[in-house]
Structure formats: C-alpha cells, structure tokens
Amino acid sequence: MQHYLGITPRNDAEGVLQDVHWCSGSFGYFPTYTLGAIYGYQYFAQARKEIPDMDERFKRGDFAALRNWLKEKIHQKGSLIPSGEELLKQVTGSGLSAAQYTKYLEEKYKVLYNL
C-alpha cells in the first residue's frame, strides 16, 4: 500500500485484512467478482441498446425503465435458467466476453485519466 498508494496502515484492520474474505482464507471469491462485473457490463450494454434514452433518464433520476428491463429480462428468469451463461445468451444473444469487458475498461479509464 505504501508503494502504490502512499499509505502505511497502522494495523491489520486498516491494511490487508480489511476484506473479510482475506482473513478467512477465502481467496476464491475474487474471480467471481470479476465474472460478476463482466456479466453486469454485458447486461447493462444490452439494456442500453434496448432503452436508447436510458442515460438521459438516469440524469433525471428516473431508473424505472432499467428496473423494469431487469425484472423482465433477469429477475423473472434468473432462478429458472440452469446457468448464468445460458441466461446471458438468452438476454444478450452472446456468451461471456472478456473482449467486450476489456473494451469497456479501456474506455472507462481513458476518460477517467485522460489517456
């Protein structure tokens, strides 16, 4: 943390053990976070295609269209579909794509850091 962030924790609670999974040795959770982020991005990209004015709605604080889209496409079907991959294919027409997520990250950080 000192090298990357310039922070020296005073104790373990402020340092490496701030994540409950680390102190219990449950390191396997981290890949699932990444998978969830990839799925989430693909669902969000699909919602943007199907709700073209979604960003404008968000600016007004209107999240109803996305909530309804999620209810119809994800929430009502989620427990009926045997796998996340199958649900993703039904909702977006494609499987899990690291390439799509990588493109999203490149664009996000280009904007954030003026790269």
Tens digits of residue pLDDT in 19-62? 667 667 776 677 788 888 999 999 999 999 999 999 999 999 99
Q: DSSP code of 83?
A: -
With cut-offs at 50, 70 and 90, classify the pLDDT of residue 17. Answer: low
Q: Report how far residue 66's alpha carbon sits from residue 72's, in angstroms, rounded to the nearest whole number.
A: 10
Neighbouring CB atoms inside 10 A of 52's CB total 8
Question: Which residues have C-beta within 8 Å of that of residue 94, sequence separation ≥ 6?
Answer: 42, 88
- What is the pLDDT, as a whole number, of residue 54? 96
* pTM attached to this predicted model: 0.73
Task: Establish if 48 belongs to a structural domain.
Answer: yes
- Length of the chain, please? 115
In a domain, 8, yes or no: no
pLDDT above 70: residue 85: yes
Residue 69 lies in a domain: yes
Supply the pLDDT for residue 49: 96
Half-sphere exposure of 16 (CA within 13 A, CB side): 6
Say if CB 45 and CB 105 are below 8 A apart: no
Residue 28 lies in a domain: no
The pLDDT assigned to 16 comes to 64
Total domain count, the chain: 1
If one counts every other C-beta atom within 10 angstroms of the C-beta of residue 104, the result is 16
**What does the pLDDT read at residue 6?**
84
What pLDDT is attached to residue 32?
81
d(CA 42, CA 46): 6
